[in-house]
Structure 1
Amino acid sequence: MIKHDGLSGLVCLIIFGFTLPGSQGQLVVSAVGPSRVDTTAGSNLTLVVSFSGAPDPAVTWFKGPLPVITWIIGSNSPPDVAPEYEEVLRLQPNGSLGFVHVPLNYGDDYSVEMTKSGLGTASVNFTLRVFESFQNVTVTVWPDLIIEGSEQFLLKYSMLRGVLEHQLWFFNGRLITPEDGSRYSVRPGSMAVREPHRNDTGRYTVSLSNPFSSVTLHQNVTILYGPDEPRIQINPLQDFYISGDSLTLSCQADGSPQPLVEWKFAGETLTDSHAGVLNLSRVLTSQGGVYTCELRNQMTGVRQLKSVELLIYERPSGSPQCSVLSNNNRSLRYECRWSGGTPPARLSFPDFGEGDTLENLTLTVNASGEMDGKTVTCQAQHPAGNNECNVTARSPQNFLPTVRTNVDPEGQIVVSIGCLSRAEPPAVVSWFHGGEPVSDGNLISDDTTRLDIRHYNVSVLLFQNYTCSCRNPLGGRSKMVHLQEPSISDFSLFPHKDGTIVTLTWEVPPTSIVTGFDIQMSGPRLVVADGTDRRAKGAVEEFRTILRKPGSARSADVFHLNPKSTYRFRVLPRALMAEGQPSKPDRAGPSAGLSGPAVAGIAAGIPCGILFLLLLCGLICSAIYWTKTKMRQTRYPVTTPQMQIPHNVLPGPPKSPPDYNRLRTTSSVLSVAPPSFVPPPPVRVATTV
């Protein structure tokens, strides 16, 4: 028990009172207070004891096994103190041991023995611990560079002064205990971590304490490792790339610190990579090959390499092209082409089980009915993607010849007859006139699909029969063309909303010879902006030509019509000076505003309207007659005085009519008893003037 000098005297007096001579019995020594005493260096304290059963015993104090002070209580001689302890130890009159400015090294086990002749020996033990407060405590780690897989690393703490009672070690806030395994070795002043790995990177904490002081220190530890196995990512990831594509190569690996990355291609370092990312834009086939990623830990010098191969192809241009040609108009020659590309495309005709050549494929097949309409497929295989094309051989199909008429610079009528049949391979066209082949090559076009007939007189061209024959290896078709005089097959008139413009449209038969059209009109003159008119001489009812159109025209607009006037139009076809039959006339104007069905509807609607009016009048008359008959019926009682109804609203509440039942005449006066009168409810009557 720690006591200061003022208190120790008082305690000694109390103890001395209990130990006065005269007490007899067995000698007993006991500690006053705890037997384990903690104190700080430089403080004063007393290990207090008491005894009983014998007066003035001999006292000896031991520090550990060594005696440090002896004395006989009550003796006039001073206590005998070991020389090296004279400055610190003091023996109290009751045998208690005092310390003056106790040094740090005085912490030890102390015991006291008291002896009295004839009464034996008694003793008691004490433990004195002397502490210092912690000052300038630091934590260090060894070695400076800790590499994953090394033997161990050590955490040590040091202090300027201080006495430790407890030390606790923590990793990332978790207490390290013996259950954590043999990897952790805790000793006074240090902790060792054996075979460190990357998971040992973190914050280590040591907590130091004694009864009078405590301190907590932290140390961050980084375990160097890597680079691990590199990871290469390609975006977008494909088996191969086409010239012109863009892609990104990324190389990463775990390590501490983060490894440095370099890309190499064809023995050269690519300097345009950043943080392990290499961008390849619009690649060429020459950029295909092996790319190597090198990662290096700049602290440990460890290196890792990993390579990836890029395949860059050139796609053939366009798409495969299929065609079928005539071979002497007897057999079919199928062709398939897909040029360019790296590597070249491989072509085949699976339908025939032959082929498999590069870029160009040709195959000749005998023409037969089975080939007519059969679709043949050419398969094209290329690393950039498979493709195919189809071709179908067909015999000439039904067709309609076309006739076009022009006038050449010499004034001749040129009739062009065209025969074009849908066929694959294209059909060869032959021409016949009157059953004989046309031998004049100047009349037939280079592709043989057109026959040009020239003459000054249209009558020579009329009613001529020409035949065209279309043929390929799969068959043929023939058509005969009979030329006709100029004529109109269809004619229509479309007036505009304002009535000043009409649009005329017409068609001609397919084999009619026409070089131009006359737009004819009958009716009032056409008024133009300058006040003149376009009416030809003659009566208004006669048709006159107001416009001329070429043979290719199929419509015409007529302007400056009077919306209030009626006009008639027709189209006259011509072959130079020869006129054909004009179209059926059509009308425009107010008189043409109602169609035949509309007029018929109006005619039928007039009688119906008259009949409806008659029925309505009959119903009105019947209603009036019924009303008058109702008013003539006899009412009881009959009153002769006429009431004059004022023209304004009666003031005040309505009055009830008189009780006519009291005014009735007696039954002897009337032959028949009148019915009883029930007055109506009061009504306010008003008249509005």
Structure 2
Amino acid sequence: MNEKSKPELVYWFSEQTLQPGPSVSLKCVAMGHPPPQFTWLLDGFPIPTNSRFVVGQHVTLQDDVVSHLNISRVTEQDGGEYACVAANSAGKALHAARVNVYGLPYIREMPKVTAVAGSDLNIKCPVAGYPIESITWERDGQNLPLNRRQKVFPNGTLIVEQTQRGEDAGTYTCQAANRQRHAARRDVEVQILVQPKILPIPALTNLLREGMRAAISCQILEGDLPVAFRWEKNGQPVTSSPYAPSGIITRRMDEYSASLVIEQVTSLHSGNYTCIASNVAGSERYTIPLTVNVPPRWRLEPNDVAVAAGQDVTLQCQADGYPKPTITWKKAVGNTPGEYKDFMFEGSSRVLENGSLVFERVAKDSEGHYLCEARNDIGAGLSKLIFLKVNGKYH
């Protein structure tokens, strides 16, 4: 089976200049797999739909695709930049060249042009007639460029960089003139679309405890209506339902804002929440972290332990919570619990990363009451008093 290959043009028409009246045939040949399909453009737009313009396409024995654009009874208004575009699922190839038809300047109608604020605007004036001495652009009676963002090229292309609605939307006029001062003019309407801009959302960190209610508001500062809002948690769509296990509800507040509400937060709700606001011009995302502070809870609660002297022993003390709890050990002063001092670790004892206390070859003088505490400054913390009993050596 043949692999896909993007189209490659192996023959194309060249620029030509002719008098009105005769017919003209433009030809392009391309190879590629699957066999490409051709489309034809005039000054960037589909060719006119009338009986004088006929497109044909066939495949040769060598699997080349041949396409013709035949124009009968050429008029001065048919002049312009013609392009053949060969496309298949692997890509496309394009060739463009002018067909000049002697006659007075003429500018074809231009549909409304839209651009997204902040992007560059590119308009090519569709000029026919030949020869043409000059192509100019103006706005409100003033010739362009008027500022550094505007650029006008001899071929009739107008570029406006980093468009802004307040400054760049409106009516532009292209004028084409020949040496005898005969001129044609045509207006084009430019619309600048503004995509949503989200008001910064404060992070919800170190504020929430389990059981509290959390609300995230997402408002747009600017952007064309209508605006659609959606939410994600850790990159996955949020399921909104008062009956959903997640307990997350999303609401549309008005045309410009939406909210996400968690009726009762738990540690499972911690994560990165993203508001996505979209309109016809594009979309913006704003992500905030939400953390739920959880008081310490026992994962492995300490218990009394009895062990023979000389054996290894582990006093379990493991706790979960957010922020991660700090585990500390203290030992009772004397034989009666009530007064404690920080446990002094020696060569034979150490605390594991999970908080448990390990004695290697425990000695009789290690016997006593031990207090394990787990704290993370959320709530009162946890503490548990246990007794380590060290019996005589095992024989």
TM over 0.5: no
More helix by share: 1
Kindly indicate whether structure 1 or structure 2 has the higher relative contact order, using CA contacts under 8 Å at least 6 residues apart. 2
Larger radius of gyration: 1
TM-score range, shorter chain: 0.3 to 0.5
Q: TM-score, normalised by structure 2?
A: 0.42
After TM superposition, the score normalised by the length of structure 1 is 0.25
Which structure carries more strand by proportion? 2
